[in-house]
Amino acid sequence: MNRHWLTTPLLFIFLLNTLTLSFYFLHQNPNPDPIPNFSSASALSNNLSGQRNPNFTAKPWPDLASFVPWTPNPSTSPSSCEAFFGHGFTRKLDLLSSERKSWFRCHYNEALKSSVCEGGLIRMIPQRIHMSNGGESLETVIGREEEDELPTFEPGAFEVEASDGAFRQINDGDRKIVNQDFLDRFVPRGAIYIHTMRSLLDSIRVADSKDFNCSELVEEPTLLITRFEYANLFHTVTDWYSAYVASRVTDLSHRPYLVFVDGHCKAPLEEAWKALFSSLRYAKNFTDPVCFRHVILSPLGYETALFKGLSDNIPCHGAPASDLMLNPDSDKTARLTEFGEFFRASFGFPLNNTKISHSSLQQNVLFVRREDYLAHPRHGGKVEPRLSNEQEVFDTLKTWAKAYNKCRVNIINGLFAHMTVRDQVRAIQEASIIVGAHGAGLTHIIAARPGTVILEIISSMYRRPHFSLISQWRGVEYHAINLEGSYANINQVLKELSSILKSLGC
């Protein structure tokens, strides 16, 4: 058995520049271990004292019409749309390689400057994570500070195992598996002030086998998520997308379990987390140390192309997966469409990708409303008005639609803040035109059917690119009415809508 450990910075740099970076703790093994999968996990059973649930209950992935296999391709250019929206996590960094016990690796994406990390036999010690419990009902925690809800980690909040005396201490004997240099290179802080995933990685320590016991062993692959803006749909969609990408990059055979490593209270969007993935628990819901057979660290939503693309130029256009299969094009992507289908399928809707008919006799125009609701403990229950005469616009559209005689036009009242996420998704997929003032609810266009047309009404205070960009990346048609101030001229809205209806053959 060879034992190597890194002592010189020079060697460290050298290894960083090769494709695999290995800190060898136990056996020398240039090929990292295969990832334990569902059927083979029990074969890896060792003498952890915890109880095991032999029943694997994870949900299978739904069949997606636009699914393109997530195969790592080292030749994927960091400027290609696949690198931004799909599998750009092609640089594999093996940190802890072992034949039998804990292992750990990261997959770095040069385009996004972000890593999906994963490991096996990882122990979480909830007592070493400081944050509120999380999952409380909102009314019980009014006024709680955001800092109280974000985790801080003591050293050893997460641990990996190495056999008695077999590991060598690295990084000045602090038993860390990643050092500062690694974090700066592969999990850079970027513009994020409190980077919870970076702190989580920084807290991982190597523990001796004799100290490594668990009250519970979670066999199912589990995503660890640290959420920020858990009440806002746009930010939450970035988290969902990141979790989806992380699951695909690590080639999970089923949808993972989720553990929220944050202390946010219960929010309506939890419904969607549960629909998308296999199960959900808050980290503080585990009272004793818990071991995970396979954890995946989901990058912050801020590191997805959906968020980075708001400020960085990501000149990608959505295209049908079937076209890209025949004619690969690095300036196009079908990944957001694939994700939108995953989203719809997770709520049990049949995937209807029939393009909105251009001669249909009936068109559903979904008006996405902005309503007051209590979003989070520091919120006053009022949303900023962005279209001061929203009600007037809606009422006028309804009356106008009744009299419209070229085809039947239904104006749907999208009171999203008071609808289940499932009903929101249903409304989105039944719409052929989606109208709304700039607001997070419009992020749902990610799940719109091909051929849907978007009309955004933008007040002069909110000239932000979110929905024109999402439409572009998704490949759906987008129109905007830019207001002077926040009052919409009804005639202008009717004119724009009529012209869209006409273009739909109606």
Ligand X SMILES: *[C@@H]1O[C@H](CO)[C@@H](O)[C@H](O)[C@H]1NC(C)=O
Binding region for ligand X (CB under 6 A) = 34-35, 37, 39-40, 46-47, 53-55, 133, 210-211, 213, 284-285, 287, 350, 352, 354, 357
Nearer to ligand X, 303 or 341 (CB): 341
Q: How far apart are CA 18 and CA 92, in angstroms?
A: 10
Q: Which of 62, 56, 30, 23 is nearest to 294 (CA)?
A: 56
Nearer to ligand X, 54 or 74 (CB): 54
Nearer to ligand X, 122 or 437 (CB): 122
Nearest distance, CB of residue 407 and ligand X, angstroms? 13
Nearest distance, CB of residue 34 and ligand X, angstroms? 4
Q: How far apart are CA 378 and CA 366, in angstroms?
A: 30
Return the structure tokens found at 262: 């944050």
Nearer to ligand X, 231 or 283 (CB): 283
DSSP 95-141: EEE-SSS-EEEEEEETTTTEEEEEEEEEEE-GGGEES------GGGG
Nearest distance, CB of residue 187 and ligand X, angstroms? 25
Answer for the pair 435, 459: CB distance below 8 angstroms, yes or no. Answer: no
Nearest distance, CB of residue 35 and ligand X, angstroms? 6
Nearest distance, CB of residue 263 and ligand X, angstroms? 11
Task: Report the Cα–Cα distance between both ends of the chain, in Å, rounded.
Answer: 74
CB atoms closer than 10 angstroms to residue 176: 22
Nearest distance, CB of residue 212 and ligand X, angstroms? 8
Q: How would you class 51 by CB atoms within 10 Å of its CB: exposed for 0-12, middle for 13-18, buried for 19 or more?
A: exposed
Nearer to ligand X, 99 or 312 (CB): 99
- Give the SS3 label for residue 383: coil
Nearer to ligand X, 18 or 39 (CB): 39
Cα Rg of the chain (Å, integer): 24
Nearer to ligand X, 138 or 387 (CB): 138
Answer for the pair 29, 194: CB distance below 8 angstroms, yes or no. Answer: no
Q: Which of 355, 410, 363, 401 is nearest to 506 (CA)?
A: 363
Answer for the pair 134, 127: CB distance below 8 angstroms, yes or no. Answer: no
Nearest distance, CB of residue 203 and ligand X, angstroms? 19
Nearest distance, CB of residue 140 and ligand X, angstroms? 13
Nearest distance, CB of residue 52 and ligand X, angstroms? 8
What H or E segment, with its residue span, contains residue 490? Answer: helix 490-503
Nearer to ligand X, 52 or 379 (CB): 52
Answer for the pair 68, 321: CB distance below 8 angstroms, yes or no. Answer: yes
Q: How far apart are CA 376 and CA 261, in angstroms?
A: 18
Q: Which of 480, 353, 366 is nearest to 431 (CA)?
A: 366
Nearer to ligand X, 352 or 489 (CB): 352
Nearest distance, CB of residue 259 and ligand X, angstroms? 12
Nearest distance, CB of residue 95 and ligand X, angstroms? 19
Nearer to ligand X, 285 or 388 (CB): 285
Q: How far apart are CA 108 and CA 20, in angstroms?
A: 11
Nearest distance, CB of residue 106 and ligand X, angstroms? 18
163-170: long-range contacts at Cβ-Cβ below 8 A with a sequence spacing of 24 or more? 163/26, 163/101, 163/208, 163/209, 164/208, 164/209, 164/210, 165/208, 166/3, 166/25, 166/26, 167/25, 167/26, 167/206, 167/208, 168/3, 168/4, 168/5, 168/25, 169/5, 169/206, 170/5, 170/6, 170/23
Nearest distance, CB of residue 449 and ligand X, angstroms? 7
**Helices 466-474, 335-346: inter-axial angle, 10-degree rounding:** 100
The DSSP 8-state label assigned to residue 41 in this structure reads: G
Nearer to ligand X, 132 or 196 (CB): 132
Nearer to ligand X, 40 or 420 (CB): 40
Nearer to ligand X, 151 or 439 (CB): 151
